Amino acid sequence: MIQNNNPLTADPRDLRDLDGPTGNIYLSVAIISKRANQIAAQTKDELQGKLSEFASEHDNLEEVFENREQIEISSHYERMPKPTLLATKEFLEGKVYFRTPENDTEE
């Protein structure tokens, strides 16, 4: 399995750090929320793609519970950091691109 150094639990955050890039805590939270939704959607698609390999029209209940590889894949995704933690980390590191209507000027 791939090891990463992303946080698995929530850490207390200083609100001044969160509103630094935008100057507005509410805008920062909205940006983090949208990025978390993107991460969650990507992870869901990736998981469904991997689990679809195991899909069968004729599986009975016992076969589903006995499939070790499927259980390992699911367990791996359950242990991954939550999308909100990843999005917050990306935002604080300046890795999230965002723009606001006030900053968009047509020239």
Tell the residue number behind the tokens 């990736």, with chain if given. Answer: 46
The dihedral sign for the CA sequence 44, 45, 47, 53: positive
Residue 81 lies inside a defined structural domain of this protein? yes
- What pLDDT does residue 53 have? 73
Which carries the bigger pLDDT value, residue 105 or residue 93? 93
Task: Give every CB contact of residue 27 below 8 A, 6+ residues apart in sequence.
Answer: 19, 100
3-state secondary structure of 17: helix
- What pLDDT does residue 40 have? 92
The predicted model gives 15-39 an average pLDDT of 89
Residue 101 lies inside a defined structural domain of this protein? no
Which residues constitute the domain of residue 62?
16-92
Residue 28 lies inside a defined structural domain of this protein? yes
Residue 38 lies inside a defined structural domain of this protein? yes
- What pLDDT does residue 47 have? 83
Specify the number of domains making up the chain. Answer: 1
Q: pLDDT tens digits for 35-85?
A: 999 999 998 888 888 777 766 666 566 565 557 777 777 788 787 888 998
The secondary structure of residue 101, as a DSSP letter, is T
Q: Which of 23-32, 56-65, 76-85, 97-106 has the lowest mean pLDDT?
A: 56-65
| Alpha-carbon gap, residue 107 to 100, rounded angstroms | 16
Query: Percent helix, strand, coil in the chain (nearest 5)?
Result: 55, 0, 45
Q: Are 35 and 91 in contact (CB under 8 A)?
A: yes
Percent with pLDDT over 90 in the chain = 19
Residue 47 lies inside a defined structural domain of this protein? yes
Which carries the bigger pLDDT value, residue 25 or residue 16? 25
The secondary structure of residue 4, as a DSSP letter, is -
Residue 26 lies inside a defined structural domain of this protein? yes
- What pLDDT does residue 56 have? 65
Residue 61 lies inside a defined structural domain of this protein? yes
The predicted model gives 22-32 an average pLDDT of 90
Residue 102 lies inside a defined structural domain of this protein? no
